[in-house]
Structure 1
Amino acid sequence: MSHDAVRENLGSTAKAASADAGAHDMRALLHKPLPGGAAAGWAGSALGRVTQALPDDGYLVEVQPGGERWHCTRAASCLLQPDIGDTVLVAGPQREQVYLIAVITQADPGRSQLVVNGNLTLHARQGGIALHADTQLDLRSSELTLEARKAQVEVNEMDYRGAEVRMTTLVARFVGRTCEAVLDRLSVLTRSSFRLTEEVEQVRAGHIDYEARNTLRLHAKNTLVSSKELVKVDAEQIHMG
């Protein structure tokens, strides 16, 4: 056998051995367990149904019907409060550490709650915030603070019930057709008062007491003063006519 034939035979044998070694390494890599929970078939996320709510934003989620229930913590990004029977998305780095990421479908779509732990601020940097409700808008809090440069309120009917109202303003204007007030006591303190009535003004009282420090003037085209029992005029000087 020539030297060239020997070298060709040795080269073929080396290539075959190298190919067999590569195939063996590939088979070993395929059978090698993946890190973490991937060996148990964990894909990183799954859909499940909420079966129970636990304290501290914990939930039991059933990934397969009748299967094991997973303990999940609601993620901070999931603002919609999960409810029993909702279909949710759970995800995490491994099977033993999963979080409830989002609510996919609700068991009762007619009732939704956005829940956070702590203070919540809605901030629109270059726009506005609008709240729309087809039926009712309910605001409840122990304290309410409103601050704005300009406000406009349009309400067809309003009922207010409260213990006390305090208002401080430089100028107040009320324009309307009818104003009715039913009070036990009315006190008005002013430096100057002006009232103009174009037609009729009537006062019905048990006792009327007018007192002027300097001058009291009554003037009309016709003036009638009548009494059932007594009319008394008392002064140092009385001018008639």
Structure 2
Amino acid sequence: MSPNPSRPGLLGLVLHQAEVRRCLDDAWDLRLDERILTARQAASCLLRPEVGDLVLLSVAESGDHYILAVLERAASEEVAHFNLPQDSVLHSSGRLTLAPEQELLCVTTRIGLQAAGADANIGLVELTTRALRTQAERIVTLARQMDATIGELVQRLTRSQRFVHQDEECQCANLRLLVEKTAVLQSRETFIQAQEQVKVDGETVQLG
């Protein structure tokens, strides 16, 4: 029930229910009875009013009218827009959960994340990026199967160790192995097969 406009409240304010008729740049035209009033959105009203919405309007004698709340949406299936100030912080002393039933989207120019720890349980991840840069003191990867298609791979390592429990196979057009000091090949049986030529060149060659 709207207060009697002939009896203003504190500071000359009167509350009414009004209908949004038009959206301006930073204000709204509202229909109140047979009048059209222009009002701005109050800082505490985060839901952006849309045309046809029923809102709670604060009418002041000074002419500064404010939309305090959106009471009913004209089209409940439309996207709801929440307007926050330029810099905003959502604070909780406990746990904060975002739980949309369908999808969670984040559209922005830059994302920053700071946390002491992070856990993610995701069924499928698809990442499309122009460049990817990671810095970590230690990385541990556990995977049952990994498949990578890379145009060019360059690795610069101080020390490298690889342990293969079963078979390892390398297929390439050309293979060049450069060792600065000593190369050691140890196996129970070694087979070298070439269709045309096998060449061993060195200052000293020892067999057996």
| TM-score normalised to structure 1 length | 0.77
The letter of the residue matching 2:31 is E
**Preserved contact between residue 13 and residue 60 of structure 2 (Cα < 8 Å):** no
Matched, 1:119 2:87: yes
**1:99–1:187 distance in 2 versus 1, CA, 3 Å:** same
Partner secondary structure for residue 152 of structure 2: coil
User: Which residue type is aligned with residue 108 of structure 1?
Assistant: A
| Residues 1:38 and 1:154: Cα distance change in structure 2 (over 3 Å) | same
User: Residues 176-226 of structure 1: CA distance to partner in whole angstroms, max 9, x if unpaired?
Assistant: 011111111111111211111111111111111112222211122221111
C-alpha distance after superposition, 1:48-99 (max 9, x if no partner): 110101122x1111123xx221111211111110000000011133384421
Tell me by how many angstroms 1:43 deviates: 8.0
Q: 1:240 to 1:79 in 2, by over 3 A?
A: same
Structure 1 segment 3-152 matched on structure 2, within 5 A: 38=6, 44-56=14-26, 58-64=27-33, 67-94=34-61, 96-110=63-77, 111-124=79-92, 126-152=93-119
Instruction: Give, in whole Å, the separation in 1 of the partners of 2:88 and 2:57.
Output: 24
Secondary structure of 1:163's match? coil
Structure 1 stretches of 4+ moved >6 Å:
none
Q: Please give the alpha-carbon distance, in whole angstroms, between the structure 2 residues aligned to 1:236 and 1:74.
A: 88
Structure 2 residue runs without a partner (length 5+) = none
Structure showing greater radius of gyration is: 1
RMSD over aligned Cα atoms:
1.9
- Letter of the aligned partner of 2:17 in structure 1? L
- Equivalent in the alignment of 2:178: 211
Deviates more, 1:214-223 or 1:46-55: 214-223
User: Which deviates the most, 106-115 or 156-165?
Assistant: 106-115
SS in 1 for 2:205: coil
TM-score (structure 2 length as normaliser): 0.89
Q: Do the aligned partners of residues 49 and 160 (structure 1) sit closer, same or farther apart at CA in structure 2, a change above 3 Å counting? A: same
CA distance in 1, matches of 2:111, 2:148: 27
**Per-residue displacement from partner, 1:101-154 (whole Å, max 9, x unpaired)?**
110010122321111342221122x22322111111010111111001111111
SS at match of 1:38: coil
Match of 1:233 in 2: 200
Aligned length: 200
The match for 1:159 among 116, 126, 137 is: 126
Q: Distance in 1 between matches of 2:19 and 2:70?
A: 10
